[in-house]
Structure 1
Amino acid sequence: MPAIRRTATRFLSLALAASLAMPMTLAAQQPAHADAGFQRWVQSFKATAAKNGISGRTFDRAFRNVRDIDPEVLEKATYQPEFTAPVWDYFDNRINEHSVGVGRQMARQWKPWLDRIEKAYGVDRNILLAIWSMESNYGEILKNDKVMRNVVRSLATLAYADKRRAKFGRDQLIAALKILESGDIDESHLSGSWAGAMGHTQFIPSSYLAYAQDADGNGKRDIWNSVPDALATAANLLRKNGWQSGQTWGYEVTLPEGRKFPGGSISLGKWDELGVTRANGKPFPRGNQNAELKLPDGRGGPAFLMTKNFFVIKRYNNADKYALAVGLLADQIAGYGPTVKDWNRPFTRLSFEETQELQKRLTMNGYYDGKIDGKIGESSRAAIRAFQERRGLEADGHPSKEVLTTLRGR
């Protein structure tokens, strides 16, 4: 989810003047059961919106059906533990036969548009497909009403009720109202995640304002319904943040035993002199290109030299694991194989179909009631642990071949 911040300020005296000038205020139009404190805040925020170029008509339309805060938004904002699961867990859920296969299918389906976008922005199509997969599962999450919610309500909830994210909520709410003011989308279709990430490529409102593109030429920058607009918008973000056309994001490498390496970025030629070589045995194509060493799974796991484009991907989501997953998934969609060295996984990995079978068998045995999606989240791990405990096995929660074999034997 890309992020750019904007600053929004309050003008309470103007809010009072606006409320006195209107014969029927927004708060007065709301039913008696609406949150009165929240409605007062909404009415006061109307002046801030006006100061930022939002018409009263747009504001009233945006809040027409927003009667109270969204408690689920506050739950998700409060419960956001750092990702502490092993690194292989992150990559297994995002890079698998399904995500690669669908990516290749989408590459064929959208080839004419990808040709145009790649030519116009200079960004590798496979990177765009990988971002689409990572952000919305190629648009599938947009069909999930449990995930998608009213962006105005979500951001107003953060602005009004979440002290840590109040400024973010206010800034993004103003940006969302500017989107409505522009006419690119109407309020009934302005949907997104709990934090306001929107569309196929999950842009927060301020990032949308900075990068949104009308690739299909219909006069709307519609990242919700137009795949070309969404992919072009992602490409525009990468290009404007320094994407180097025709170059890779990085290389998997092999490290010589017992040697320490400098931090920071040095040339690939220098890395080669230090004994760091490509894992596939090929030479580095640009010896003068700088790169930084990353060991996401320690010295025992795959090692990578990251070039400029890796750090450009991080402008989309400022996490090493995210950028690496995009790069690795893009490579596999393009037809390259997985990493030469596997992650330090303490069990035998299941295929995507086997993972779905594992979930189905756990469901059949009463341990799991979640979605059969081939992705191992906390509910799947809890179900595996419960099954392992019942069978007297080590309750590690790993989606292993051993657990599936045991389930098949029941």
Structure 2
Amino acid sequence: MDHNTIAILMFSTMLLMMITGQRVFGAIGVVAVVAALALWGPGGTDMGFSAVMKLMKWTPLLTLPMFVFMGYVMSESRLAEDLYRMFHVWFGPLPGGLAIGTILLMVMISVMNGLSVAGMAIGATIALPELVRRGYDRLMISGVIQAGSSLGILIPPSVVLVLFSLIARQPVSNLWLAGVVPGLLMAALFVLYIVIRCTLNPALAPAMPAEERARITWPERLRLLRAGLLPVFIFVAMMVPFLNGWASLTEASVIGALASVAAALVKGRFTWAVFETATRQTLMITVMFMMIITAALSFGAVFDGLGAGRAINDFFLDSLGLAPWQVLVLMQASFLVMGMFLDDTAMLVIVAPVFVSLAKSLGFDLVWYGVLYTITCQIAYLTPPFGYNLFLMKAMAPPEFTLPVIYRSVFPFVLVMILTLVLVMVFPELALWLPREVLGR
């Protein structure tokens, strides 16, 4: 059996195991171990050991538990509730104002947490009941919460971009800065869609009644604005020392975690229960990521040892004779298809090593490509039948939010995401301008 056939067999076996519901790290790790032992005998076990050592020596991974802890502290101490009240008061009088406020809330949550799940949890527990009470259309509610929560993996501090930096060997600081403008652009396009849709059909998202607006005094409006300063304080406390070279990435993540604790203490909400929940969830998520990455690095070592990466390069460039931009479009399309069945971490660790090598050989900037990959992950979160956010929404929403409603609600927002992806592909400076200006690339 030739090496190409073995590589195809490995990949198809792994996908089959995932489709049948096996754990991601188990599916990847088992295939890697069996293939390594079959190909190289007992010496193949060194590949897994080398993968673990490589992971242990990669210090930026220490930022992962810090950012997860920071997000859970903000969530469990109910600081997000203050933010939502602020957006409710200031944007409620507009048609679709509370939906706009939900998107802006998700942007704020994104700068405090690098995971989509935190935004989804906050949106489903805080925003959803209020949107339902206000008579918002179920499709609008479901779409806004799911799309808004996906911003967490593009706007820094994105955990997905931290993991991509491990695969692509690119500075995390460059990738984070590259995600800022596309992330804000996507949020702005979400808001624009909501404004246009609700202006054409105000019944989808009724404005706050006039008598309720009259009861909200200006001192209260100004007091609520202070709630918006907390995320800014945490973001500035974390990013300014890092971007000025006063602190390393790992040290900046610790500053961010301490700043979130300080914010909760100032509000008088940092209890033992908050600390215990945040610590427990941080441990669970960190261990999960570590296991997946270790298994993926082992799989990648075997896959690359077979020459599969070079074979794919030769197939695209020589056998098909495609131009670089055609190959890029094909890679992004394949990510979109895989996103219907796999989560972002699985796609990253399975396919990204091969595609990163291909993108580099084609002369594309890997920081820019990292942003493209992350946007496709966001789309994957929302694409049926197995989009990650779809099932989170089903688990957290009331019974009237059925799967057909949840599936239908995301399509307008998926189109907005695809538009953002196309804009960043056509205009790479949307991603590359800020890193160059701030870090002098």
TM interval, short-chain normalised: under 0.3
Greater share of strand: 1
Which structure would you say has the larger RCO, counting Cα contacts within 8 Å and 6 or more residues apart? 2
Structure showing the higher helix proportion among its residues: 2
**TM-score normalised over the length of structure 1:** 0.23
Q: Which has the larger radius of gyration?
A: 1
With the length of structure 2 as denominator, give the TM-score of the two structures.
Answer: 0.22
